[in-house]
Amino acid sequence: MANVVVVTSGKGGVGKTTSTASLGAALAKTGQNVCVVDFDVGLRNLDLMLGAERRVVYDLINVIQGNAKLAQALIRDKRLDTLSLLPASQTRDKDALTEKGVARVMKQLREKFDWIICDSPAGIERGAILAMRHADTAVIVTNPEISSVRDSDRIIGMLDSKTERAESGGDIEKHLLIARYDASRIARAEMLGVDDVLDILSVPLLGIVPESEEVLRASNLGAPVTLSNPVCAAARAYQDAARRLTGEAVAMSVPRDRRNLFGKLFGGKAA
């Protein structure tokens, strides 16, 4: 049975779209059929992360409004035939999203894919609510900063009240993904530690993704980091997180500051 996952946060710029693309590609690499859906109507970016911006003809709004069939709007990744994209519209606003239309599209997607990963817009407005509405699982992306964590706490409250599962008396499975983790800044008390974030949010930890230039490089190349450089630390963190999403028991590791470690080992500062 298909699993619908919403990748969400209260704050913008925390790494939701990067995480959606990276987790989607990691799951697709295992042979499962995956569709990533861009709900950020008007600010479309998921197609850029996948290098598919020039292949967009129809989008989510076209399908919702009946101007195109789902099969016409889906874009299959050229590197992984098990990965597809349903892009957002860049010229419409979020008012074009209707509850009935989203429900119909999600039903069709469930019939075609093993995983549907919804890239939510930031905040608590209509687009974010509709992105999480039909989710079975939520991945809450946060940075180890107090403003990001506080906004994530607000999103957790919405997941427990605005989703179909919550309204029917059930629970949505929630996971926390800490992105842009910088061990050196945490050591200087410029960011919250992992334990601090977990104490505030009380959500099971899915993974810790270190701050990495490889993530930015991958975005500029139009490829998820799990495809462009699968051996780098950020890619490995996303791959482990994807395995945990499937229920696999994978040991959690906290990224270390390699520069400080080098300095301690050799009695000086790393070059």
Q: How confident is the model at residue 269 (pLDDT cuts 50, 70, 90)?
A: very low
pLDDT at site 268 = 42
Q: Domain of 77: which CATH number?
A: 3.40.50.300
Sheet strands (E) in 27-172: 34-38, 75-76, 83-86, 115-119, 137-142
pLDDT at site 258 = 54
Average pLDDT over residues 208-231: 94
d(CA 209, CA 231): 13
d(CA 263, CA 271): 9
271 domain residue, yes or no: no
250 domain residue, yes or no: yes
Q: In percent, how much of the chain has pLDDT > 70?
A: 94
Give the tens place of pLDDT for each residue, 22-56.
999 999 999 999 999 999 988 889 999 999 999 99
112 domain residue, yes or no: yes
> Residue 35 forms beta bridges with which residues?
84, 116
Residue 264 has pLDDT above 50, yes or no: no
The edge-to-edge listing of strands for the beta sheet with 137-142 is: 75-76, 83-86, 34-38, 115-119, 3-8, 137-142, 173-181, 205-210
Q: 65-103 burial by CB neighbour count: b if 16+ within 10 A, else e?
A: eeebebeebbbebeebebbbbbbbbbebebebbeeebbe
121 domain residue, yes or no: yes
Q: How confident is the model at residue 240 (pLDDT cuts 50, 70, 90)?
A: very high
178 domain residue, yes or no: yes
Q: Which residues contact 18 (CB under 8 A, 6 or more apart)?
A: 49, 179, 215, 219, 224, 225
Q: How confident is the model at residue 267 (pLDDT cuts 50, 70, 90)?
A: very low
| CA distance readout (Å), 111 to 59, 132, 168 | 19, 18, 22
91 or 172, greater pLDDT: 172
CA atoms within 13 A on the CB side of 81: 0
Pairing outcome for strands 205-210 and 83-86: unpaired
User: Domain range spanning residue 173?
Assistant: 3-266
Average pLDDT over residues 102-124: 95
Of the candidates 225, 206, 219, 212, the one whose C-alpha atom is nearest the C-alpha of residue 152 is: 206
If one counts the domains in the chain, the total is: 1
Q: How confident is the model at residue 75 (pLDDT cuts 50, 70, 90)?
A: very high
Give the tens place of pLDDT for each residue, 127-170.
899 999 999 999 999 999 999 999 999 999 999 999 999 999 99
Residue 260 has pLDDT above 60, yes or no: no
Report DSSP state, residue 3.
E
Of the candidates 110, 189, 176, the one whose C-alpha atom is nearest the C-alpha of residue 145 is: 189
pLDDT at site 266 = 40
Tokens at residue 228, please?
Answer: 């462009």
Name residue 7's amino acid.
V
Average pLDDT over residues 190-201: 94
Of the candidates 222, 241, 244, the one whose C-alpha atom is nearest the C-alpha of residue 233 is: 241
pLDDT at site 44 = 85
d(CA 7, CA 62): 22
